[in-house]
Amino acid sequence: MMDIFELRRDVDETGVSGTGTVARGVVFDSGTVVLTWLTAHTSLAVYGSIDDVVAIHGHNGATRVVRTARLDFDAIHEHAANYVQDVFEGVHGCALSAGGNQRYIAEEREWYARLFDEADCDR
Protein backbone atom coordinates (compact mmCIF):
# COMPACT_ATOMS: atom_id res chain seq x y z
CA MET A 1 0.00 0.00 0.00
CA MET A 2 1.00 3.59 -0.51
CA ASP A 3 -0.31 6.58 1.39
CA ILE A 4 -0.79 9.88 -0.42
CA PHE A 5 -0.61 12.94 1.82
CA GLU A 6 -0.41 16.72 1.94
CA LEU A 7 1.57 18.99 4.20
CA ARG A 8 -0.82 21.63 5.46
CA ARG A 9 0.79 24.62 7.06
CA ASP A 10 -1.25 26.71 9.49
CA VAL A 11 1.52 29.19 10.27
CA ASP A 12 4.41 30.09 7.96
CA GLU A 13 7.24 30.75 10.41
CA THR A 14 9.83 31.39 7.69
CA GLY A 15 7.74 33.38 5.22
CA VAL A 16 8.86 31.11 2.36
CA SER A 17 6.18 28.52 1.67
CA GLY A 18 3.00 30.27 2.78
CA THR A 19 0.03 28.60 4.45
CA GLY A 20 -2.48 25.96 3.40
CA THR A 21 -1.38 22.95 1.36
CA VAL A 22 2.32 23.56 0.71
CA ALA A 23 3.50 20.09 -0.37
CA ARG A 24 2.25 16.67 -1.46
CA GLY A 25 3.88 13.34 -0.92
CA VAL A 26 3.79 9.58 -1.04
CA VAL A 27 4.72 7.09 1.67
CA PHE A 28 5.82 3.82 0.06
CA ASP A 29 5.46 0.34 1.59
CA SER A 30 9.09 0.54 2.70
CA GLY A 31 8.37 3.70 4.71
CA THR A 32 10.37 5.86 2.29
CA VAL A 33 8.73 9.21 1.57
CA VAL A 34 8.86 11.32 -1.59
CA LEU A 35 7.74 14.91 -1.13
CA THR A 36 7.18 17.64 -3.72
CA TRP A 37 6.75 21.29 -2.79
CA LEU A 38 3.96 23.36 -4.31
CA THR A 39 5.70 26.67 -3.71
CA ALA A 40 7.08 29.11 -6.27
CA HIS A 41 10.46 27.34 -5.96
CA THR A 42 9.46 23.71 -6.38
CA SER A 43 11.63 20.80 -5.39
CA LEU A 44 11.44 17.07 -4.88
CA ALA A 45 12.95 15.34 -1.84
CA VAL A 46 13.27 11.80 -0.50
CA TYR A 47 13.13 11.00 3.22
CA GLY A 48 13.62 7.81 5.21
CA SER A 49 10.25 8.08 6.96
CA ILE A 50 7.24 10.28 7.59
CA ASP A 51 8.71 10.97 11.04
CA ASP A 52 11.74 12.53 9.32
CA VAL A 53 9.41 14.78 7.29
CA VAL A 54 7.60 15.92 10.43
CA ALA A 55 10.87 16.48 12.32
CA ILE A 56 12.26 18.65 9.51
CA HIS A 57 9.16 20.45 8.23
CA GLY A 58 6.60 20.20 11.04
CA HIS A 59 7.65 23.46 12.73
CA ASN A 60 6.43 22.27 16.15
CA GLY A 61 2.91 21.52 14.94
CA ALA A 62 2.51 24.49 12.58
CA THR A 63 2.52 22.02 9.65
CA ARG A 64 0.38 18.87 9.64
CA VAL A 65 0.55 15.66 7.61
CA VAL A 66 -2.92 14.95 6.21
CA ARG A 67 -3.44 11.61 4.45
CA THR A 68 -5.61 12.14 1.38
CA ALA A 69 -5.62 8.63 -0.13
CA ARG A 70 -4.38 5.09 0.32
CA LEU A 71 -3.51 3.01 -2.72
CA ASP A 72 -3.85 -0.76 -2.39
CA PHE A 73 -2.46 -2.22 -5.60
CA ASP A 74 -3.82 -5.70 -4.89
CA ALA A 75 -7.32 -4.23 -4.61
CA ILE A 76 -6.78 -2.14 -7.76
CA HIS A 77 -5.71 -5.22 -9.73
CA GLU A 78 -8.66 -7.22 -8.37
CA HIS A 79 -11.03 -4.41 -9.39
CA ALA A 80 -9.50 -4.37 -12.88
CA ALA A 81 -9.89 -8.15 -13.17
CA ASN A 82 -13.54 -7.89 -12.13
CA TYR A 83 -14.08 -5.13 -14.69
CA VAL A 84 -12.60 -7.30 -17.44
CA GLN A 85 -14.88 -10.12 -16.30
CA ASP A 86 -17.94 -7.85 -16.49
CA VAL A 87 -17.02 -6.55 -19.95
CA PHE A 88 -16.33 -10.07 -21.23
CA GLU A 89 -19.68 -11.29 -19.94
CA GLY A 90 -21.44 -8.30 -21.51
CA VAL A 91 -19.82 -8.79 -24.91
CA HIS A 92 -19.67 -12.58 -25.12
CA GLY A 93 -22.55 -13.57 -22.84
CA CYS A 94 -20.43 -16.01 -20.83
CA ALA A 95 -18.05 -15.84 -17.89
CA LEU A 96 -14.29 -16.15 -17.79
CA SER A 97 -13.03 -18.87 -15.49
CA ALA A 98 -11.83 -17.83 -12.05
CA GLY A 99 -8.37 -18.80 -13.24
CA GLY A 100 -8.71 -16.23 -16.01
CA ASN A 101 -9.01 -13.43 -13.46
CA GLN A 102 -5.99 -14.71 -11.56
CA ARG A 103 -3.98 -15.01 -14.79
CA TYR A 104 -4.91 -11.43 -15.67
CA ILE A 105 -3.77 -10.15 -12.28
CA ALA A 106 -0.52 -12.14 -12.48
CA GLU A 107 0.18 -10.90 -16.03
CA GLU A 108 -0.43 -7.28 -14.96
CA ARG A 109 1.98 -7.62 -12.04
CA GLU A 110 4.62 -9.17 -14.31
CA TRP A 111 4.17 -6.34 -16.83
CA TYR A 112 4.64 -3.67 -14.14
CA ALA A 113 7.65 -5.52 -12.73
CA ARG A 114 9.28 -5.70 -16.18
CA LEU A 115 8.50 -2.04 -16.82
CA PHE A 116 10.25 -0.91 -13.64
CA ASP A 117 13.11 -3.41 -13.98
CA GLU A 118 13.84 -2.17 -17.52
CA ALA A 119 13.61 1.53 -16.65
CA ASP A 120 16.89 3.37 -16.92
CA CYS A 121 16.62 5.77 -14.00
CA ASP A 122 20.25 6.95 -14.19
CA ARG A 123 19.58 9.27 -17.13
pLDDT in tens, 11-37: 877 777 788 899 999 999 899 999 999
Task: Give domain status of residue 123, yes or no.
Answer: no
Same domain, 63 and 83: no
pLDDT tens profile 84-115: 666 666 665 555 555 555 565 566 666 655 65
Q: Within a domain: residue 7?
A: yes
Question: Phi and psi of 98, rounded to 5°?
Answer: -55, -35
Q: Residue 48 — φ and ψ, nearest 5°?
A: -70, -25
Domain count, the chain: 2
Q: How far apart are CA 24 and CA 6, in angstroms?
A: 4
Same domain, 50 and 95: no
Q: Is residue 61 part of a domain?
A: yes
Res. 122 pLDDT band, cuts 50 70 90: very low
Q: Domain check: are 77 and 102 in the same one?
A: yes
**pLDDT value for 49:** 95
Q: For residue 60, is it within any domain? A: yes
Domain that holds residue 52: 2-71
Say which residue, 43 or 83, is predicted with more confidence. Answer: 43
* Mean pLDDT value across the chain: 77
Asked whether the whole model's pTM tops 0.75, one would answer no
